[in-house]
């Protein structure tokens, strides 16, 4: 591992042209010189999260993707359907760096003591443009990892751990005592399950397949419902009666699931209701859509009274809302439990160029549970 | 007008039988003796609000309604589709009185001074079971109408006026500065338009038909968009840019309109945005579904970033939330502006028996804008 720092290095870029074409490629960019309070991090591990895919591929139709360029400098192009171009208006003709979070080694530091203290250390960072060989960033924004932690172990320090913790925190702050999670066998879902077991919070896990239910049960989950079960609605209602969960976090977004959860919550509340109310239960039932694994429209039949809400949920506004002190407490918990509660698992590690190969995109682009890629830009 | 009080009188009842049949009929019930703090009101005007129809007809298929009984004691029966029977679970085999609000004359009063003070006065009341010839109620719950007001003028004192005022109040309390309203040519919508003009709050009215737009414009509305216009989305976006409205109250419920409003709000916000955010505008956009003129599923494409919410909105939880003092202030405003801001218009007045005729049900059951029935149970 050489500490020689090149003048230029690779950075992944995503561009949507006004004409309706997406182009993802590797740009040769200057390696930045860190300012006094900054450090230069050689990125060695950066995950492809579902939350990265939106910026990475825009609304392009990857089924029509074309692959060109060379093995070391691949170029992916794909058409963006006209109906989605309006949503792309803000980013047209602008070549954008990608990658929410990552980890690596500090190879150069500004003059400030805070920056100097990190030289040679492994750190986790967040803030975009992580799909790159080098990234400069303010020293105070780095989360220093334990000495025995590798960049791969620290690569997913922020998005999934803070999202999972944020769900439990949101549940408490909005007056609920148990929660529901969909796509619950995901990395994030397994993490949430570990948090809930540790914090003694009742969690209803919703998965699609029996093997995902088995996985969660071997990890100690008590309530797991499979949408493929012919009795899904009845089983979910039973779990909601048992836990009293009236808030859900849904990673799917599209289709009928969010509405089904509200319907079952209402049925669970009515099972113990004392008198008929034409407006349904007065208990507020909430589903937050935090992902869009299913990009098709959301549809629901409003068979759950009037005390309900649906809405977007996103990590960064949540962190802003709770404030610095509360956010810092969550970050410290992540660092302390990095190899246990907040451990992530990857199905494959690839280089920057490897992330743009047809087979890789076909695999991680599906957003399937259990398929998670890690990029090592320094590979 | 005799002050002779009969021993029994008519009360409209709605019954959903476990076997899946709705029966609406007139029951002969004992006229109650008011307690010391109560008054007996001879109901002379009670509106059929959209919010009454749910309890009145349950989830029955009125297209298959059968009419029997006599002219003075009609009986309506209709099948309830099996898929809706679950939602009826709480009211099965229970004959329920109907009618949220009404107005009439106090014909008997309990011994308390508060009750005695109302004897012979015209009052507006709310609390269910108003589709009846007599209703006893606590004196303190009566809103005494101005001496020159008729029961018909006071019949809709609560639901529409407080709902319209509640929307403006909710807008303010949740940090928005302008609002959107759908089915805006309704009685409620015209009322909201008058309130907003008076309070100098910008209002975007959404209607279905050009003649409804004309009606609102002759009443001073500035922003009116018609969903039938081929440029509806563009016109709505322009109105949202002009007003800055980021909260909407939707009476339709089903279909795509609620999502379209959020989409246009997002487009309006992005028109002035300074940089691209892959998660969309951070400004929270809210649509409250307070009615269900369209009972089909709600569907939306989530093309409006992550800062959004949808939810049920209902008058009574709102009043509970704001507290007694705030609610009382709203009621006083209604009484003071009964013949101006809060005037209601009815397309037809019918008796209790008349409300159960096939042609009447066909008319008001459609929930069409401009068609509003008033029942006079003492007719």
Residue A25 in contact with partner chain B when CB distance is under 8 A: no
H or E element, residue A249: strand A247-250
Report d(CA B359, CA B348) in Å as an integer: 12
Does ipTM exceed 0.90? no
> Is the pLDDT confidence value at B322 over 90?
yes
CA distance A81 to A60: 7
> Residue B340 class from Cβ within 10 Å (0-12 exposed, 13-18 middle, 19+ buried)?
exposed
Asked which of A29-38, B92-101, B140-149 is least confident by mean pLDDT, the reply is B140-149
Residue A335, token pair as written in the block: 């660092």
End-to-end CA distance of chain A: 11
**What pLDDT does A3 receive?**
63
Please give the average per-residue pLDDT across A102-119, as a whole number: 97
Chain A with chain B: Cβ pairs closer than 8 A: 99
pLDDT band at B276 (very low <50, low <70, confident <90, very high): low
A18-39 pLDDT, tens per residue? 999 999 999 999 999 999 999 9
Q: Looking at CA atoms only, how far is residue B288 from chain A in angstroms?
A: 9
Q: Which residues of B touch A89 (CB under 8 A)?
A: 270
Candidates A278, A298, A313; nearest CB to B300 = A298
Task: Tell me what pLDDT residue A1 has.
Answer: 43
Residue A42 vs residues A35, A110, A348, B60: alpha-carbon distances, Å: 16, 15, 20, 67
In chain B, which among 112-131 make CB contacts under 8 A with chain A? Answer: none
B302–A297 C-beta distance less than 8 A: yes
- What local confidence, expressed as pLDDT, does residue B1 receive? 43
Closest residue of chain A to B295, computed from CA coordinates:
A301
Say which residue the tokens 């007045």 belong to. B349
- β-bridge mates for residue A254, sequence order: none
Chain A residues touching residue B253 (CB < 8 angstroms): 302
Indicate yes or no: CB of B90 within 8 angstroms of CB of A301: no
Residues B154-188 have pLDDT tens digits of 999 999 999 999 999 999 999 999 999 999 999 89
Residue A286 DSSP label: E
Enclosing H/E stretch for B75 = strand B74-79
User: Average of pLDDT values for A182-204?
Assistant: 96
**CB contact at 8 A, B149 and B338:** yes
Give the Cβ contact number of residue B88 at 10 Å. Answer: 18
Q: A265 CB near a chain B CB, below 8 Å?
A: no
Q: Per residue in A75-104, pLDDT tens?
A: 999 999 998 898 888 889 999 999 999 999
Q: Is the pTM of this model over 0.95?
A: no
The residue ranking higher by pLDDT, A183 or B3, is A183
Query: B217 and chain A: CB distance < 8 Å anywhere?
Result: no
The residues, any chain, with a CB within 8 Å of residue B183's CB and separated by 6 or more, are B189, B206, B207, B208, B251, B252, B291, B293, B369
- Could you read off the pLDDT of B282-301 as tens digits, one per residue? 899 999 999 888 989 999 99
Q: Do B299 and A299 touch (CB under 8 A)?
A: yes
Which of A54, A311, A313, A314 to mutate to probe the B interface, most B CBs <10 Å?
A311
Distance, in Å, from the CA atom of B105 to the CA atom of B123, rounded to the nearest integer, reads 6
Q: Given CB atoms, is A370 within the 8 Å cutoff of chain B?
A: no
Nearest to A99 by CA among A293, A377, A378: A377
Mean pLDDT of B364-369: 79
| B312 in A contact zone (CB under 8 Å) | yes
């Amino acid at each position: 591992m050489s500490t020689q720092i090149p003048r230029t290095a690779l950075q992944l870029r995503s561009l949507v042209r006004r004409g309706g074409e997406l182009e993802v490629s590797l740009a040769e960019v200057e390696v930045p010189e860190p300012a006094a309070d900054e450090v230069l991090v050689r990125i060695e591990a950066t995950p492809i999260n579902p939350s990265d895919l939106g910026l990475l591929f825009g609304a392009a139709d990857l089924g029509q993707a074309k692959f060109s360029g060379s093995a070391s400098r691949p170029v992916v192009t794909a058409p963006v359907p006209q109906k989605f171009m309006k949503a792309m208006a803000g980013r047209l003709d602008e070549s954008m760096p990608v990658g929410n979070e990552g980890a690596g080694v500090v190879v150069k530091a500004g003059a400030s003591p805070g920056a100097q203290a990190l030289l040679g250390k492994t750190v986790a960072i967040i803030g975009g443009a992580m799909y790159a060989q080098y990234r400069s960033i303010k020293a105070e924004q780095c989360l220093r990892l334990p000495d025995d932690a590798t960049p791969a172990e620290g690569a997913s320090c922020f998005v999934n751990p803070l999202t999972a913790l944020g769900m439990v925190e949101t549940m408490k702050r909005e007056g609920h005592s148990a929660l529901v999670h969909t796509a619950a066998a995901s990395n994030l879902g397994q993490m949430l399950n570990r948090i809930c077991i540790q914090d003694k919070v009742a969690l209803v896990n919703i998965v699609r397949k029996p093997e995902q239910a088995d996985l969660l049960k071997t990890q100690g989950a008590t309530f797991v419902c499979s949408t493929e079960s012919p009795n899904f609605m009845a089983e979910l209602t039973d779990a909601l009666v048992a836990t009293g969960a009236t808030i859900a976090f849904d990673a799917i977004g599209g289709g009928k699931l969010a509405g089904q959860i509200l319907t079952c919550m209402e049925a669970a509340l009515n099972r113990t209701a004392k008198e008929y109310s034409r407006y349904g239960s007065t208990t507020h039932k909430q589903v937050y859509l935090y992902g869009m694994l299913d990009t098709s429209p959301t549809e629901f039949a409003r068979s759950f009274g009037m005390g309900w809400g649906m809405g977007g949920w996103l990590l960064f506004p949540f962190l802003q809302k709770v404030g610095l002190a509360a956010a810092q407490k969550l970050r410290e918990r992540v660092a302390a439990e990095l190899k246990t509660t907040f451990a992530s698992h990857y199905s494959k590690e690839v280089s920057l160029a490897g992330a743009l190969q047809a087979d890789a995109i076909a695999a991680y682009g599906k957003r399937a549970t259990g398929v998670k890629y890690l990029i090592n830009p320094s590979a």
